Chains A and B, each alone.
Chain A
Amino acid sequence: MSEEDEDQPPPPKRPRASPPADQVLDNVLETVLQFLDAPGDRSAASLVCRSWHRAESATREAVAVRNILAASAARTARRFPRARSLLLKGRPRFADFNLLPPGWAASAFRPWAAAIAAAAFPALTSLNLKRIPVTDADLELIARALPATFLELSLLLCDGFSSHGLASIASHCRGLRVLNVVECDMAVEDEQEVVDWVAAFPPDPTDLESLSFECYGYAVSFDALEALVVRSPRLKRLGVNQHVTLGQLRRLMTHAPRLTHLGTGAFRPADGGDEGIDFGEMVTAFANSGRGRTLVSLSGFRDLAQEYLPTIAVVCINLRTLDLSYAPVTPNQIVMFIRQCFNLETLWVLDSVRDEGLETVAMYCKKLRSLRVMPVVANEDADELVSEVGLAAISRGCRDLRSILYFCQSMTNAAVIDMSRNCPELKVFRLCIMGRHQPDHETGEPMDEGFGAIVQNCSKLTRLSTSGHLTDRAFEYIGKYGKSLRTLSVAFAGNSDRALQHILQGCSKLEKLEIRDCPFGDAGLLSGMHHFYNMRFVWMSGCNLTLQGCKEVARQLPRMVVELINGPPEDERTEDVDILYMYRSLDGPREDVPPFVKIL
């Protein structure tokens, strides 16, 4: 469920020339460095001198390549031969919103799968992929290469694979502990071709601790699933898809009484109500799983039968995470159980709960740290269900808030300023006013002061997404006060290049910059030349960049890969750049470049 980008600094750069020779023996150094876990510390250690770099590289077990195009599989394997877990992140986030033409990085994972199959990562047990196209062939390669030792596969927002790929993993990886397929856009298959990968698990007791397939579009055989759960005594996390009915869920819950995380599937009895599952039976099911006080996270509710929602009330006391983002819950319904949720730390809801629902949340969920309010109808012209009233209520009630993502139709500066004062611990503030260029709907002014207050009062802010009508002034504030900002998303905002200059010259820790449809041109872009090598990527689409400006960047920064997507062919007269996506890379421009991409 966690999609938030965590507090990770950029991957280490190449070592500089070493200072006077280090006295410590290499193997002693390695022993000591093994106690170093935090990626930031490891990066820092690796930059001390050559021998530290060597020792650190030899001992690093958790390897993260947060832009898969920044370093090749071969290079990574050479440097970190003892890698046990590999985290790879692929596409830029704006690709989620159809801004990137498909086929942009079609073969991104293949070289890695091939490297794994060639035993380049002999100690590898865990693979964590985000926004990467993965094919069935890739999964087959991995499954066959590491049948005994492969323990964890997590696919988040990936695409391209199908039930066949999952079946390869299930059938070959005997020691598998974690198989999480989250929010993936799996390949469409003919009904006859779909493989029941759940049935592909070997018949022996498994070591499965986590199995999540809430996004899987086809039905799995329930008998196979039930049998799998029965023979997986270590199962702690189970997330089923919307084809699993309420009655089936109840049976699964009886087989796994010590679950900590449960994805509830449809949360609706089978059609026709023939299942005969009644309210009381469901309450009992939750009461039994709640008895161990282990259930801390609920999600799913993909086709919610509203009358059954209150059955969760009995476990609410222990819940820390509740994901109702696929369930259009109303204010009256949420009241029925949210009162018990006083330990809740993470809540994802739809705006169907309205301001009243949020007020109730604010009243009872005092420990709330992360809130998402997603729109039922994601449309600029939709009804207004939540507003500044809800935001203000949350800020008054949930002082410990660290992260908020809030979709609304309109907002006021006053409410945002209140939040900046009431919730000084905020690290992530993402406000999406769905109407483009919407000003403060009470005063008619731009939303500059609100966002300004956020960056000024929330000194720990690392991630910011802006919306609404914003002038250059807002970005002046951001540049001046956003010193901890690492990720910034800007859309339909600003007046001129000055805004971009403020950002690039002010936000010294900026790593990821995504901009769309703003009037920023070459002058703004070029003002960031001193900083681009410290960034993971820069995305600018629908702005006023020209080929000239981008070429200048490419010329001055040879290690930046500057991609122009949908760009004009080699024709100097056409100036406008559709999408600029640039990132640093140790291995130079990639080879699998589709025709609509031009690398400068």
Chain B
Amino acid sequence: MAGVDVDVGTELRLGLPGGGAEAAKAGKRGFEETIDLKLTLPTAGMEEAAAVKTEPAAEKTKRPAEAAAADAEKPPAPKAQAVGWPPVRSYRRNVMTVQSVKNKKEEEPEKQQPTANAGSNSSAFVKVSMDGAPYLRKVDLNMYSSYKDLSIALKKMFSTFTTGNNLNEGKLVDPVSGADVVTTYEDKDGDWMLVGDVPWEMFVESCKRLRIMKSSEAIGLAPRTKDKCKNKS
């Protein structure tokens, strides 16, 4: 899996960080559903299937790892939902869904649930840490519409701490020979990913916190090349 030995404890886990074993079981099921529904990717054995460039590379690298572990503890397929069951009024359901989308993006929620994302009209604050900086910052991802905007903002925010180096932008830059720092993010699964691989909207939805680290530390994260299938073995 990932050679990312950052302090986040990215041991292979089902479910979302913060949840207990139960949360892992139940929560993961929902997440897999989401993946299947949204990306229509098969769940297992797709690593060989060529680098389909349209696929977000990040999702793909996680997929084999997920599938492998998920087989061990594959939850039963969810039943077809019945209309009006459980008996909770739609007004209440909608309010709770919007709230949980908001809470997801804030720090340390007590409980995580992968919910349908109503998302982009609420705020999406995530913590940003930079190695060597004495304190953290927070940015609202919904304020920006592209990686470029975000990197400009981050640069401004942390300009006092850097020597003005470029942050990693977009998928095509090779971070090893390029900038001195790279921006990484922790996604819903607790994995640390390189910023810039997935479409912006998907990034906003899945990003939980950002970390700007020295590119020398980020070797394990970087894609080998942009063409090969990105494997985070």
Contact = CB atoms under 8 A, between A and B. Distances in A.
B211 interface: no
A576 interface: no
B113 A380 contact: no
Interface in B74-89: 78-79, 81-89
B86 A375 contact: yes
A376 B84 contact: no
A183 B78 CA distance: 31
Contact of A432 (B79, B81, B87, B95): B87
Contact of A97 (B81, B85, B96): B85
A526 B209 CA distance: 63
B224 interface: no
Interface stretch (A218-226, A281-289, A382-390, A503-511): A382-390
Interface in A292-323: 302-303
A328 to B, nearest CB: 7
B220 interface: no
A211 interface: no
Question: Which of B78, B99, B103 is the most central at the interface, judged by chain A CB atoms within 10 Å of its CB?
Answer: B99
Interface in B87-120: 87-93, 95-96, 99-100, 102-103, 110-111, 113, 115
A274 interface: no
Interface stretch (B21-29, B153-161, B168-176): B21-29
A492 B79 CA distance: 14
Interface string B34-75: 000000000000000000000000000000000000000000
B27 A491 contact: no
A215 B91 contact: yes
B110 A97 contact: no
Contacts of B86: 375, 378-380, 407, 432, 434
B191 to A, nearest CB: 21
B81 A380 contact: yes
B117 to A, nearest CB: 14
A332 B96 CA distance: 20
B30 interface: yes
A99 B111 contact: no
A96 interface: yes
A330 B92 CA distance: 19
Contact of A383 (B22, B82, B85, B92): B22
A234 interface: no
A101 B92 CA distance: 19
Interface string A94-105: 101111000000
A429 B158 CA distance: 58
Contacts of A384: 22, 26
A383 B91 contact: no
A325 B111 CA distance: 16
A303 B101 CA distance: 12
Given A377-B115, A383-B22, A302 B85 contact: no
Contacts of B22: 383-384
A232 interface: no
A377 B113 CA distance: 8
Nearest to B122: A303
Contacts of A381: 26, 29-30, 78-79
A383 B84 contact: no
Contacts of A434: 85-86
Nearest to B29: A381
A352 interface: yes
B88 A98 contact: no
A434 B88 CA distance: 10
Given A98-B83, A98-B84, A381-B78, A376 B113 contact: yes
A328 B90 contact: no
Nearest to B84: A97
A160 to B, nearest CB: 14
Nearest to A100: B84
A242 to B, nearest CB: 9
Contacts of B84: 94, 97-99, 516
Given A330-B110, A432-B87, A376 B92 contact: no
Nearest to B102: A303
B26 A382 contact: yes
A352 B110 contact: yes
A383 B19 contact: yes
A185 B93 CA distance: 13
A375 B89 CA distance: 11
A374 interface: yes
A271 B121 CA distance: 13
B62 to A, nearest CB: 21
Given A183-B91, A303-B99, A376-B100, A382 B113 contact: yes
Given A376-B113, A432-B87, A326 B95 contact: yes
B52 to A, nearest CB: 30
B100 A491 contact: no
A436 interface: yes
A517 interface: yes
A427 to B, nearest CB: 20
B91 A185 contact: yes
B29 to A, nearest CB: 6
A375 B91 contact: no
Interface string A489-533: 001100000000000000000000000110000000000000000
A350 B99 CA distance: 13
B100 A97 contact: no
Contacts of B81: 379-380
Contact of B92 (A332, A374, A432): A374
Contacts of A326: 92, 95-96, 99
Given A381-B30, A383-B19, A328 B99 contact: yes
Given A97-B85, A330-B110, A407-B86, A378 B92 contact: yes
B143 to A, nearest CB: 12
B96 to A, nearest CB: 6
Contacts of A328: 96, 99-100, 103, 110-111
Contacts of A330: 110-111
Contacts of A491: 85, 87
Interface in A91-132: 94, 96-99
Interface in A79-100: 94, 96-99
Contacts of B78: 380-381
Interface in A175-194: 183, 185
23 contacts: A99-B84, A183-B91, A215-B91, A326-B95, A328-B110, A328-B111, A350-B96, A374-B88, A374-B92, A379-B86, A380-B81, A380-B86, A381-B29, A381-B79, A383-B26, A383-B113, A385-B111, A432-B86, A434-B86, A436-B85, A491-B87, A492-B82, A492-B85
Q: Which 9 A-B pairs have the closest CB atoms?
A: A97-B84, A378-B88, A330-B110, A434-B86, A381-B78, A99-B84, A383-B26, A98-B84, A96-B89
Given A271-B123, A302-B95, A381-B29, 4 more contacts: A97-B85, A183-B91, A376-B113, A383-B113
